[in-house]
Structure 1
Amino acid sequence: MLPELLPRPAAIAPEEYRQRREALMAQLPKGAALIVPGASLVTRSHDSEYAFRQQSDFYYLTGIQEPDALLVLLPGREAGQSVVFCQDRDPTMESWTGRRLGAHGVESLHGIDQAFENADRDEQLSGLLVGCDLLYLPLDNSEAISIAEEALANAQAGQRRGKPALKGWLDSRPLIHEMRLIKSPTEIALLRHAAVISAQAHIRAMRTCRVGLSEYQLQAELEHEFVWQGASGPAYSTIVGGGANACVLHYIENSAVLKPDTLVLIDAGAEFDLYAGDITRTFPVNGRFNEAQRALYQVVLDAQERAIQAVAPGVTLVDIHQGVAWDLTAGLIALGLLEGDVQARIDDESYRRFYLHSTSHWLGLDVHDVGSYRLDEETPRPLMAGMVITIEPGLYIPCEDDIPVAYRGMGIRIEDNIAVTSSGHEVLTSGAPKQIAEIEALMVKK
């Protein structure tokens, strides 16, 4: 029987993209313009490219999925405040790579005020930027820098004819990334859907897992489910780490054989309409936790559940991480992996031998989504309704002589996606089992 297809959420409407552009332009000083290049195709090998993935800021402001596009925002321009340059309509190329939007399609389908094809870009762009005295652009983008440098040269030449000078340029990313921190209800729905697909994939992997399979075979099960449910694929490189491979935080080789009496850690999430799911689950290869696995797993699970319960407006990620560090340290002491007082082991950071990373990150169009974690150098940012985060404590026990044999090479991480609401939080990834009894019951029935 084929897996049931999940109902798809509504796409983001052109009007929402327009509202974002208008909100961004409202922050620009008088006389400023903003440019955001889209992504280009990247060569994989001779005569083939990697699958195209749009640049996130450009997509956030336009919803356009074609390569080699450029957005220009010109507040107050009578002929249209939003201008997009796009690929030329080309019947020969379109017969190879598919239909292109063209200028008319960009305007009619995406609500852009005015569009030009790239063949007209050199002629049109310089005219659009005449009179701008300040440009906002992504300073990490070489194409944007080249456009700014050419605009500056044109402005300097124009000064001799009495035209305004271009004073320079500033980074557009802080303005856009601040906006992206707060997700709209439609964005939350897309993230929820990516999370549900991701949870279904983790269930599929649990049901499939058995001794003797290779890590890459579980990867295949996960990614099959992603695409079957309409996702573009994984939101990041899938991690399937059996045994001690789980202690390598970004292990992506996925080439080892799954062995009896070991755990397997899977960190995998689907990307749906460019929005990311990000789930980690850890479970026994043979379907049953042994005593040591059960004890260490419960320490991580208890810490994660208490951290999730703490998520609410006004709380900071620093608060949450400190609570997790306390809980994990207490658990390590209880199991004999650390000795002494909990606060002492936190103060001397000896717990960091087993817990190497932070508890949370932003989630959205990028799996490690954009936005500052602090209001200033001293002040952590408080959570607000509309933010989406991960909660992902973990313990990673090295294979070293001073470690009890039962725990050596054991890596456990449990990660969920959490939307902050006005009254608390919503766990978007609740469909992925994480209680010991749930996992064992699911794997026994496989």
Structure 2
Amino acid sequence: MSATFTISLDEFLLRRTTFAAQMQNNSVAIIFANTEVTRSNDTEYHFCQDKNFFYLTGFNEPDGILVIAKVKGEVSTTLFSLPKDPHHEVWHGRRLGQALATESLGVDACFSVDDIDTHMPDILNGMHAVYYSFSGNQGVAAKIQGWLDDVRVRARQGFVAPTALLDAKPIIHEQRLIKSSQEIAVMQAASEISGKAHQRAMTACKTFQFEYQIEAEMLHEFAINGARFAAYNSIVAGGDNGNILHYTANDMALKQGDLLLIDAGAELNGYAADITRTFPVNGTFTDPQKTIYNLVLAAQQLAIDAIKPGASFAELNTKVNTFLTHGLVDLGILQGDLQTLLDENMVKKYFIHGLGHWLGLDVHDVGDYGIGEDGKQHRPFEPGMVMTIEPGIYIPLDADVDEKWRGIAIRIEDNVLVTESGCQNLTINAPKSVEDIEQLMGS
């Protein structure tokens, strides 16, 4: 599956062209790949490429550097990458090298990263501005400054150093926010794989007794469908553990009568899915569990139904917070004057996180939310945006509420694409109605 749902070379070329169109004339953009991180002694963590570098190149080797130069409107791209090394490749795997990079990646030139200090003064000479990612990575900033210093010391030779340093991230992040048809196809595939994994988790509860065993079932389903890694650390939280938002210990025994909250998604060719489902370990909701569950589900559907071009997270949050406030008051979980509870946003005592976030190459993907002076996210939705919608209600065991509600933690999360006329739920194959869950788990 992963071999089918890929991004074409033409799209990477278009991404670089679109990025360069936003650059000033006589400027250079320098985009760094990630480097490998040691896990233990001489072994490394699974390599995860810098998402901005990957977005512009599709190149998944460490330590590369992409240089985009724009001079008098003409754009050229140069890649610096690790050289071929037969000894290293025998031990650690093949490298693309420089000879194949121009054709495979569509760059104008490729040199060994070992030679970059030789080339950069000539590339930077006479340029006005340098774009790079302002990320707090002091190593990147130091390299940029070192190359600028190399240009400055050649002033007697007529070299002129750039005088402006500009952040490349806002340009790339705006591009990444609107997904292409190819990106949507990959994300749809990642979502379908993830949905199948959630189905598998529901049926696995009849066989296994620990949270980590359910996690293993999901990772297996990801991998056999071509998504070898999870997009983030999976949350498999039984009972009151679900009231820990980022619970990842996943080491407790499952208990009959408890709910199991699973927040897990696959990564496919760099793109993330992000699904949460909550279901009873024994396959049957209790009446209190069902009541809270259906309240959250109705709130989620209210939000999804409102997604269309021109809508915003601010509007969705108002709808959901108002709906959940009314629901919790009706159940006696929130008490007091309704209007005061709404004005003071008291629903956040039990719905303690945001309603959703952008989704793409990162799970919490990049892109401006249009946060106004009121702190709300006012950016209008546009076709091609992909987001999560994930309302939840969390009532820990020590909550000052009727005992029947205590220990309930419910989150329901789907991945939603904004279309020209409304939206499309990409994760619809993960069961989420009470009836569908109980039917699957009882089969």
Normalization by structure 1: what TM-score? Answer: 0.95
Instruction: Work out whether 1:186 is the aligned partner of 2:182.
Output: yes
Question: What code does the residue aligned with 2:305 have?
Answer: Q
Report what 2:416 is aligned to: 418
CA distance in 1 between counterparts of 2:381 and 2:339 reads 26
Percent identity over the alignment is: 43
Would you say how many aligned residue pairs link Structure 1 and Structure 2?
440
Contact kept? 2:276, 2:412, Cα under 8 Å: yes
CA distance in 1 between counterparts of 2:423 and 2:64 reads 37
Question: Could you say what the CA RMSD is over the residues aligned between the two structures, in angstroms?
Answer: 1.7
Distance change (3 Å), C-alpha of 1:169 and 1:376:
farther
CA distance in 2 between counterparts of 1:27 and 1:97 reads 38
Instruction: Work out whether 1:246 is the aligned partner of 2:245.
Output: no
Q: Which structure 2 segments of 5+ residues have no match?
A: none
Distance change (3 Å), C-alpha of 1:393 and 1:251:
same
Distance change (3 Å), C-alpha of 1:227 and 1:401:
closer
Instruction: Work out whether 1:365 is the aligned partner of 2:361.
Output: yes
Instruction: Work out whether 1:397 is the aligned partner of 2:395.
Output: yes
Report what 1:309 is aligned to: 305
CA distance in 2 between counterparts of 1:324 and 1:200 reads 28
SS of residue in 2 equivalent to 1:103: coil
My pick for the range that moved more, 411-420 or 100-109, is: 100-109
Pick from 217, 220, 223: which aligns with 2:216? 220
Contact kept? 1:89, 1:102, Cα under 8 Å: yes
1:401 Cα offset (Å): 5.7
Report Cα offsets for 1:26-54 as digits up to 9, x if no partner: 11111111001001111001110001111
1:211 Cα offset (Å): 8.2
1:79 Cα offset (Å): 10
Contact kept? 2:309, 2:383, Cα under 8 Å: yes
Question: What code does the residue aligned with 2:154 have?
Answer: G
Report what 2:105 is aligned to: 110
Report Cα offsets for 1:30-83 as digits up to 9, x if no partner: 111100100111100111000111110000000001111000000148997111
Report Cα offsets for 1:259-298 as digits up to 9, x if no partner: 0111000000000001000000000000000100000000
Report what 2:370 is aligned to: 374
SS of residue in 1 equivalent to 2:130: strand
CA distance in 1 between counterparts of 2:371 and 2:175 reads 14
Question: What code does the residue aligned with 1:409 have?
Answer: G
Pick from 134, 145, 148: which aligns with 1:149? 145
Pick from 228, 233, 241: which aligns with 1:232? 228
Report what 1:55 is aligned to: 50
SS of residue in 1 equivalent to 2:118: helix
Contact kept? 1:281, 1:413, Cα under 8 Å: yes
Contact kept? 2:308, 2:422, Cα under 8 Å: yes
Report Cα offsets for 1:296-328 as digits up to 9, x if no partner: 000000000110000000000111111111111
CA distance in 2 between counterparts of 1:170 and 1:80 reads 18
Instruction: Work out whether 1:26 is the aligned partner of 2:7.
Output: no
Instruction: Work out whether 1:101 is the aligned partner of 2:96.
Output: yes
Q: Which structure 1 segments of 5+ residues have no match?
A: 1-5
CA distance in 2 between counterparts of 1:401 and 1:186 reads 47
Contact kept? 1:211, 1:258, Cα under 8 Å: no
Report Cα offsets for 1:303-361 as digits up to 9, x if no partner: 00110000000000111111111111111111110124443212123221101011010
Distance change (3 Å), C-alpha of 1:16 and 1:377:
farther
Question: What code does the residue aligned with 1:94 have?
Answer: E
My pick for the range that moved more, 215-224 or 330-339, is: 330-339
Question: What code does the residue aligned with 2:58 have?
Answer: G
Instruction: Work out whether 1:122 is the aligned partner of 2:103.
Output: no
Report what 1:326 is aligned to: 322
Report what 1:3 is aligned to: none
Instruction: Work out whether 1:36 is the aligned partner of 2:24.
Output: no
Pick from 52, 58, 76: which aligns with 1:81? 76
Contact kept? 2:27, 2:70, Cα under 8 Å: yes
CA distance in 2 between counterparts of 1:62 and 1:243 reads 44
Normalization by structure 2: what TM-score? Answer: 0.96
Report Cα offsets for 1:401-442 as digits up to 9, x if no partner: 621111101100000000000110010000000000000000
Question: What code does the residue aligned with 1:59 have?
Answer: F
Contact kept? 2:260, 2:279, Cα under 8 Å: yes
CA distance in 2 between counterparts of 1:401 and 1:20 reads 50
CA distance in 2 between counterparts of 1:93 and 1:180 reads 34
Report Cα offsets for 1:176-229 as digits up to 9, x if no partner: 101111000000111111100000000000000138611000000011111110
Instruction: Work out whether 1:64 is the aligned partner of 2:64.
Output: no
Report what 1:13 is aligned to: 8
CA distance in 1 between counterparts of 2:184 and 2:371 reads 24
CA distance in 1 between counterparts of 2:91 and 2:339 reads 64
CA distance in 1 between counterparts of 2:246 and 2:420 reads 34
Contact kept? 1:152, 1:168, Cα under 8 Å: no
Contact kept? 2:89, 2:95, Cα under 8 Å: yes
Contact kept? 2:124, 2:161, Cα under 8 Å: no
Distance change (3 Å), C-alpha of 1:168 and 1:343:
same
Contact kept? 1:82, 1:112, Cα under 8 Å: yes
Pick from 159, 162, 168: which aligns with 2:155? 159
Distance change (3 Å), C-alpha of 1:69 and 1:191:
same
Contact kept? 2:125, 2:161, Cα under 8 Å: no
Contact kept? 1:211, 1:260, Cα under 8 Å: no
Distance change (3 Å), C-alpha of 1:68 and 1:386:
same
What are the equivalent positions in structure 2 for 1:246-325 lying under 5 Å apart? 246-325=242-321
CA distance in 1 between counterparts of 2:20 and 2:92 reads 34
